[in-house]
Chains A and B, each alone.
Chain A
Amino acid sequence: MFKVSIFEPKKTLAMFSESSNFSEITSIRRHRPDYQIVLFMGLLMLLGLVIMYAIGPQRANVLNNAYGSDYSDTYFFVKQVTSLIVALASFFAMAFIPYNFITKYAGKILLVAIGACLLLAISGWANLSFAQQTLGATRWFNLGPLGSLQPSEMLKFAVLLFTAGFLGAKAKQGKQNDFKETLVPIAILTVISLMFIVVIQKDLGTGVSLIGIVLSMLVISGLNKRNMLIILFATLILGTLFIISSPHRIDRVVTYLKGDDTSQSDAGSYHIEQAKLAIGSGGLFGVGVGNSVQSTGYLPEATNDSVFAIMGETFGFVGLVAILALFLALLMRLLKQMDHQVDIRLKLLIAGTFGWLGAHVILNVASMIGLIPLTGITLPLLSFGGTSMVFVTAALGLVFQLSHYSVHPSNLKEAQYENFGSRRGIGRSRHSGSRGYTRN
């Protein structure tokens, strides 16, 4: 079908729309949603805000000294507050706009996202001013006073929406292991996206999280073990290709292979050593809010990719374990909501969100504590940076909306095969209990 798409875009679009159509969802009664999702998300956002408040002035100072910029002491805090407001708006928008309205446009959203990536690539190549260049890569649209937009985050969201619909539809027909109809199209979509993200935008971290999204959905769709191995193998080959195609990724792997031995330190190992130093010097309880020294210029990307290390310095072992527990709890809520969905496509939507969040957390934390080679990837909900937060919260918002329509596992089997909406009692949520409200 993708072959066709090149020549007949209109027809392709129609096919996209059709394949991502969620309209046949069963009419389960809407009930009390899973507020724990909001709770854990909110706590994590709040922690991120505390850190921005504490290290924002130092970060501004470091940047002003290094680049002669003119950030004020409150710049990072205010910007983070703004980002959080936008992210919460996006969360609640996704939570309240009926999901089948959103999913109806999954194909179009995907086309817009790919188009945005294409436009960014072209304008970066043409050196246009609204394409913001950083370290030789063009990753952002510079929207002037509105801030900047990272289209790769939008692409991840679009891939999530689209693949959930597409793969879900195939899975319903039992074709999730069909190479020609299912796996190859998904592989092509993934590789095209990765070309934009990893090769053109040189953003391996975002690329890996995209793979996380797709793989999670494939696993949940019921991929058989043989295909799973094949796909894992292909992913490894692709990852290796991405690494050896870029000298600085090779450096990071080499640095990683040297291990903890700081006697061999060099420029390449600086970032990871400073991150471990921040975490290690935090000790059991940390140095306390506002006392982070590593954020005064020693640790690169203190507000973004390295925020976990700064939190380790500030809050110590206790704080980091609490943060990991919050992420784990949030991820577990996602799995639970996924399990409690009736429609496979909604399951996949949540699976992708799980993969997204999980990949970010695991990659970020593992690189900060030196378990994998350094990967530039944000810690969702905590790192400074608007776009990534807005789309993660959008996905979480969708999950929150879907949590209105969960079904208790004891009723799940029936629900999958019967129109349980006509039977009293079946649609009750285990969350709502007797006092839960029900609405049509």
Chain B
Amino acid sequence: MNLELQKGSRSKALASIIIGIMVIFVFRLFYLQIIQHDYYVDIANVEQIKRLSIPAKRGLIYALDGSLPVPLVMNQTVFTVFADPQTTNNDSKIIDTIRRVAGGNARPDLQELLNMKESRYQILATRITRTQADMIKSENLSGIGFQEETQRVYPEGALASQALGFVDFSGVGRYGIEGGLDDRLTGVDGLLQSVTDISSVPLTIGTNNIDQPAVDGENIVLSIDRNIQSYAEKALSDGLTRTGATKGSVIVMDPQTGKVMAMANLPSYDQAKFFEVTDASLFNNATISVPYEPGSDIKTFIMATGIDKGVVTPDSTYENTGRIQVDDRIISNATQGHIGTISLQYAFNWSFNTAVVTVAQRLGDGSSITREARDTIYDYFHNKYRLGQLTDIELDGEVAGTIIPPTEADGNAVRYSNMTFGQGLDVTMVQVTAAFCSIANGGEYYKPTMLAGVVDKDGNYTPNQTTKLSTPVNISTSRLMREMTHTARSAFYTIVDKPGYYIGGKTGTSQVLRDGVYSDTETIGTYLGYGGSEDLSRYVIMVQVSGDGKSLSGPRDALPIFTDISNWMLNYLEIQPKG
């Protein structure tokens, strides 16, 4: 514009100065807004864009009550009360309030904690309820804060604690289902990435905002029936009291599906107070984590193998001398006598080792456990019955155990002869139970599972599919083995079973290896059996009792616990007696 300022005047000079300054400003703005634009946008993004994690809710765990899911593990919001000792000013009121409201959840040394004036964070009480937190908040104490967290609560108390596991303070599932299905229970935290104001309140400004909602963890329905579980725990507890055993485990499985209906271990712990447990071995679930030598229970499996391969029948006979030689070893029966030609059924009733070694020999050339016999036994035990293999049950801490194959030097005839009566192999209770189900159900091996299904967020229950993995024995073998074990049980114990049902089983008393030598004074007592009608096995129960330095027997100590649960099951499952 033509300003018509006078040439050489001071107004001209002022104009030049102001124009000069404006030019400098424009250069500076060009530098800041054009040249350094990206630099400042980067800084602005760091400052203005915040990523907030939206925590996913951990899935609930249900058990069954008959066919209905009932909650077994739930979530509860609890609060930690903390103080900033630099800003608290009324210590006595704080201490009074917290003691009064939080009670046993308050720390005992509140005054000392508040005296730590150099610290900014001292926990005064933990795990108080929302109501308690509101009561403390209403006192308007300065320097007191609250942290919200979620903890698990157990409406059924310590029921099935080793099967469930717990959630540790960092929110990670440990042991049991909580550990085994941690990923599914945890869900996926949501992400909120947004431009926010200075108080981190998200704004609608900006194009790079992400709003990814949290995917809550799955609500899982266990196949555990809380009534069966509860009864199994009681029966086991009674059994331990009666027998003096210090440890015991019970699995109740549905042979038609592989679903675990109860899984009990003693001694147990209270999941809600997992942090008070000093002996971490209490967290272990013995049924999946502690392989053992199964003893005479395994005779069922070698008999089934022999029958399935067609080399023996229950009525086949052999010459019992009370002992049998395999290579350089002599194997004896635990019970002496009964010398002469006896049937395998008869020998099975008495649990003679000579009988099952004979079956193994007949799988070979009839007089020795040949490589072919060992291959057959390994194929059945390891591949078909899936002993010594992880079952992949949905529990944390499963251990596979060991069955030595014939291809190894150790897989010789002596070892395989021992394996026929349950020594020289390490298996877990859940493996044995699942394998026995296949013998009790007509020959199908179902993958053992803890899961009955899932409950969606609307509360709809969807049962899951069962998985059939193999067919270890054919249906006639299964029928013969049910008869054989029924006969074996009935041979001595008919009186204890309710009449009109079809119950069978096999005792086991396994010696415990101590420093590589079989202990004379410590044995584990087991019982492995099924029950139901003659047409259909409805349950398989395996009981194990043990104790350091305790000599516990299958027939004497484990069998009565089986009988107790079995009779209760017949009633609970409302199975109609025959005739």
Contacts and interface: CB of A to CB of B under 8 A. Distances in A.
Interface in A305-333: 312, 316-317, 320-321, 324, 327-329, 331-332
Nearest to B39: A280
B330 interface: no
A279 B33 contact: yes
A64 B14 CA distance: 44
A284 B37 contact: yes
Could you tell me the dominant secondary structure of chain B's interface residues?
helix
Interface string B32-53: 1110110111011001100000
Given A277-B40, A320-B29, A328-B19, A335 B11 contact: yes
A61 B201 CA distance: 11
Interface stretch (A6-14, A73-81, A361-369, A395-403): A361-369
Interface in B9-44: 9-11, 13-15, 18-19, 21-22, 24-26, 28-30, 32-34, 36-37, 39-41, 43-44
A276 interface: yes
A332 B21 CA distance: 13
Contacts, number: 134
A328 B15 CA distance: 9
Interface in A273-295: 276-277, 279-284, 287, 290-294
Interface string B179-223: 000000000000000011111000101100000000000000000
A338 B3 CA distance: 11
Contacts of A358: 18
Contacts of A219: 10, 13-14
Contacts of A280: 32-33, 36-37, 39-41, 43-44
A369 B30 CA distance: 11
A284 B21 contact: no
A293 B43 contact: no
A335 B5 contact: yes
B1 interface: yes
Contacts of A362: 18, 21
A118 B196 CA distance: 45
B10 A328 contact: no
Contacts of A262: 43
Contact of A65 (B5, B21, B25, B199): B199
A328 to B, nearest CB: 5
Contacts of A291: 205-206
A62 B203 CA distance: 13
Given A298-B47, A371-B24, A371-B28, A283 B41 contact: yes
B278 interface: no
Contact of B44 (A216, A281, A284): A281
Nearest to B196: A296
- The residue among B11, B19, B21, B24 with the most chain A CB atoms within 10 A of its own CB is B11
Interface in B288-312: none
A58 interface: yes
Interface in A355-386: 358, 362, 365-366, 369-371
B281 interface: no
A297 interface: yes
A277 B47 contact: yes
Interface in B135-178: none
B276 interface: no
Interface in A387-440: 408-409, 412, 430
Contact of A336 (B3, B26, B44, B206): B3
B21 to A, nearest CB: 6
B574 interface: no
A155 B274 CA distance: 75
B40 A276 contact: yes
B408 interface: no
Interface residues of B, number: 41
Contacts of B199: 65, 297
A317 B22 contact: no
A200 interface: no
Contacts of B43: 262, 277, 280-281
A153 interface: no
Contact of B14 (A216, A296, A328): A216
B458 interface: no
A348 to B, nearest CB: 11
Given A280-B36, A283-B37, A296 B9 contact: no
A162 interface: no
Contacts of A320: 29, 33
B46 to A, nearest CB: 10
A84 B19 CA distance: 28
B465 interface: no
A219 B17 CA distance: 13
A220 interface: yes
B198 to A, nearest CB: 3
A339 interface: yes
Contacts of B206: 291, 293
B25 A366 contact: yes
A331 B206 CA distance: 37
A166 interface: no
A370 B29 CA distance: 10
B6 interface: yes
Given A219-B14, A293-B205, A328-B22, A279 B197 contact: no
B4 interface: yes
A324 B37 contact: no
A294 B33 CA distance: 15
Contacts of A283: 33-34, 37, 41
A282 B44 CA distance: 10
Contacts of B44: 277, 280-281, 293-294
A295 B185 CA distance: 42
Contact of B9 (A65, A216, A339, A366): A339
B382 to A, nearest CB: 65
B28 A369 contact: yes
A222 B197 CA distance: 53
B143 to A, nearest CB: 19
B49 to A, nearest CB: 9
A354 interface: yes
B34 A317 contact: yes
B5 A336 contact: yes
Given A276-B40, A354-B14, A408-B4, 6 more contacts: A277-B47, A296-B197, A317-B33, A335-B11, A339-B3, A339-B4
28 contacts: A65-B199, A220-B14, A279-B40, A280-B33, A280-B37, A280-B40, A280-B43, A282-B33, A283-B37, A284-B33, A287-B205, A293-B203, A293-B206, A294-B48, A296-B197, A297-B199, A298-B197, A312-B29, A321-B29, A331-B18, A332-B15, A335-B11, A336-B3, A339-B3, A339-B11, A340-B4, A366-B25, A408-B4
Interface of A: 58, 61-62, 65, 216, 219-220, 222, 262, 276-277, 279-284, 287, 290-294, 296-298, 312, 316-317, 320-321, 324, 327-329, 331-332, 335-336, 338-340, 354, 358, 362, 365-366, 369-371, 408-409, 412, 430
9 closest cross-chain pairs (CB), A and B:
A280-B40, A297-B198, A296-B197, A317-B33, A281-B44, A283-B37, A336-B3, A281-B40, A280-B32
Interface of B: 1, 3-6, 9-11, 13-15, 18-19, 21-22, 24-26, 28-30, 32-34, 36-37, 39-41, 43-44, 47-48, 195-199, 203, 205-206
